[in-house]
Copies of this chain bind each other. A is one copy, B any other.
Amino acid sequence: MKQKRFFLSESEIPTQWYNIQADMPNKPMPLKNPKTGEAMKAEDLFPIFAQECSRQELDQTHKWIDIPEKVREMYTYYRSTPLVRAYGLEEALGTPAHIYFKNESVSPVGSHKLNSAIAQAYYCKQEGVTNVTTETGAGQWGTALSYAAKVFGLEAAVYQVKISYEQKPYRRNMMQVFGAQVTPSPSMSTRAGKDILTATPNHNGSLGTAISEAVELARTTPNCKYTLGSVMSHVSLHQTVIGLEAEKQMEMAGEYPDEIIACFGGGSNFAGLAFPFMRHIFSGERKGTRFIAAEPASCPKLTKGRFMYDFGDEAGYTPMLPMFTLGHKFAPANIHAGGLRYHGAGVIVSQLLKDGFMEAIDVDQIETFDAGMLFARTEGIVPAPESCHAIAATIRRAKECRETGESKVLLFNLTGHGLMDMSAYNQYLAGNLMNYSMSEDDVTASLMKQNMI
């Protein structure tokens, strides 16, 4: 019988994260203080983030960073996650491609987000922090942070993008089960929220607005730190446990991926799977591996956005980040992949895209659910709407292999399950889902309206 799933023993779970910044030929440009225009130092980030996370954020020197023993112990609650050969999907597609996926949906909270939540909550606890706050879109990051906070005895306050708060009540309940306080964003409880709601009544919220609220809470509350589920370089660092495991597991399967595919919101799951494999490109050990980020056609920052300095949040509380962006006041369409409704890309990924180490494609909503349905019916796992983007991109590539007859090895990241998103599938089945793609002209018009160009 052909082997379906590959696991590592607990002793094989990585002991270090991979810091790609140390290896990049062109380092990311610095984060800048919006008032002075000066490059930020780690200390400048201490008021917002845990100190260790702040240091990791700007570390361009250390290639390997030790995973604290307690973090690694919590990883054993669900890691290694399985690497899975998608025989069912391959058969349905009639493709000669070998399709593998890293199944991060098996984490207790249902997504890869826990990999960084545990690390961030751990560092906060170590540094004497008592309260953590964050934003969440679809709720995957918020759930992860809520559980991680509970593990380390921290209080958690989560601002959830309002449209997701309403669309996905089960996610909110799950955060509450883990003991977190959940507030729909924009809310009237922060200055940022009030400003947004006065300027735009009935604002649906976005990750950008929720970040503003959480950052404000962290800044104005003693002993409270902000945590982030993507975009930042230290989050990507923590997520490299995915790719490091996958590398060993692909070896167990006796193959090496030709193409590595992940969905793209802020970049952390893409980074987590791709970066460890990309290090062999930097070292010259491997050539030709393709790294493909799949973003929503309604939020096409990588394929149609501009590389420039921009804020990470709507209110402009964060440092200026050098990134591909649609503008920090961009309000994404209400697609179900709430975790991908973000205007910018992390600084590392932005640099890598500029330097041609990776590529990006955009996929419209209905194609992503077509892909998710096929995956559910062939592999049995109902995927998160975010993950459906990676599946759709993989299916496109697998179909190309069917045309060319190539047995390429495709590896994608199944970031999470869609069990909290069944209402989205319900809409799909009822034929009520919509597409929302943006053209180059739409993006230009939006950037002009925001006075970004």
A221 interface hit (Cβ, 8 Å): no
Stretch at the interface among A158-166, A302-310, A372-380: A372-380
In Å, the complex CA distance between A108 and B101 comes to 14
In Å, the complex CA distance between A173 and B174 comes to 19
A5 interface hit (Cβ, 8 Å): yes
- Please state the number of chain copies in the assembly: 2
Stretch at the interface among A70-78, A264-272, A347-355, A387-395: A70-78
Using A72-B1, A419-B170 as known contacts, say yes or no to A176 and B426 having CB atoms under 8 A apart: yes
In Å, the complex CA distance between A429 and B5 comes to 38
- Tell whether, in the assembled complex, residue B380 and residue A77 are in contact, meaning their CB atoms are under 8 Å apart: yes
A226 interface hit (Cβ, 8 Å): no
Using CB atoms, name the residue of chain B closest to A76: B4
- Tell whether, in the assembled complex, residue A77 and residue B4 are in contact, meaning their CB atoms are under 8 Å apart: yes
A420 interface hit (Cβ, 8 Å): yes
A41 interface hit (Cβ, 8 Å): no
A66 interface hit (Cβ, 8 Å): no
Q: Within residues 361 to 402 of chain A, which ones have a CB less than 8 A from any CB in chain B?
A: 373, 376-377, 379-382
Contacting A425 at CB < 8 Å: which of B69, B109, B114, B177?
A: B177
Per-residue CB proximity of A1-34 to B under 8 Å, as 1/0?
1011101001000000000000000000000000
In Å, the complex CA distance between A72 and B87 comes to 14
Contacting A173 at CB < 8 Å: which of B5, B76, B106, B426?
A: B426
Per-residue CB proximity of A131-153 to B under 8 Å, as 1/0?
00000000000000001001100
- Residue numbers in B under 8 Å from A7 (CB-CB): 7
Contacting A78 at CB < 8 Å: which of B73, B76, B380?
A: B380
Per-residue CB proximity of A329-373 to B under 8 Å, as 1/0?
000000000000000000000000000000000000000000001
In Å, the complex CA distance between A151 and B176 comes to 36
Using A174-B382, A382-B174, A426-B173 as known contacts, say yes or no to A179 and B377 having CB atoms under 8 A apart: yes
- Residue numbers in B under 8 Å from A3 (CB-CB): 10, 76
- Residue numbers in B under 8 Å from A72 (CB-CB): 1
Per-residue CB proximity of A83-116 to B under 8 Å, as 1/0?
0000010000000000000000010111000100
Chain A, interface SS category: helix
- Tell whether, in the assembled complex, residue A422 and residue B69 are in contact, meaning their CB atoms are under 8 Å apart: no
A68 interface hit (Cβ, 8 Å): no
Using A5-B10, A377-B178 as known contacts, say yes or no to A173 and B108 having CB atoms under 8 A apart: no
A169 interface hit (Cβ, 8 Å): yes
A423 interface hit (Cβ, 8 Å): yes
- Tell whether, in the assembled complex, residue B426 and residue A108 are in contact, meaning their CB atoms are under 8 Å apart: no
In Å, the complex CA distance between A116 and B315 comes to 54
- Residue numbers in B under 8 Å from A373 (CB-CB): 177
In Å, the complex CA distance between A3 and B194 comes to 49
Distance in Å: Cβ of A23 to nearest Cβ of chain B: 29
- Tell whether, in the assembled complex, residue A77 and residue B379 are in contact, meaning their CB atoms are under 8 Å apart: yes
Distance in Å: Cβ of A216 to nearest Cβ of chain B: 27
In Å, the complex CA distance between A420 and B419 comes to 7
In Å, the complex CA distance between A81 and B7 comes to 12
- Tell whether, in the assembled complex, residue A422 and residue B380 are in contact, meaning their CB atoms are under 8 Å apart: no
Distance in Å: Cβ of A70 to nearest Cβ of chain B: 10
Contacting A1 at CB < 8 Å: which of B10, B88, B380, B422?
A: B10
Distance in Å: Cβ of A421 to nearest Cβ of chain B: 9
Q: Within residues 269 to 311 of chain A, which ones have a CB less than 8 A from any CB in chain B?
A: none
In Å, the complex CA distance between A420 and B110 comes to 13
In Å, the complex CA distance between A7 and B76 comes to 12
- Residue numbers in B under 8 Å from A177 (CB-CB): 373, 376-377, 382, 422, 425, 429
| CB-CB nearest 3 A-B residue pairs | A108-B380, A170-B422, A173-B422
Known contacts A4-B10, A169-B426, then 18 further A-B pairs from the complex at CB < 8 Å, ordered by chain A residue: A4-B73, A4-B77, A5-B76, A77-B88, A78-B380, A88-B151, A108-B380, A150-B377, A151-B380, A169-B423, A170-B419, A173-B422, A173-B425, A173-B426, A177-B376, A177-B425, A179-B377, A420-B422
A/B interface sample: 12 pairs, CB < 8 A: A1-B72, A4-B73, A5-B77, A106-B106, A108-B381, A151-B380, A169-B426, A170-B420, A173-B422, A173-B423, A173-B425, A176-B429
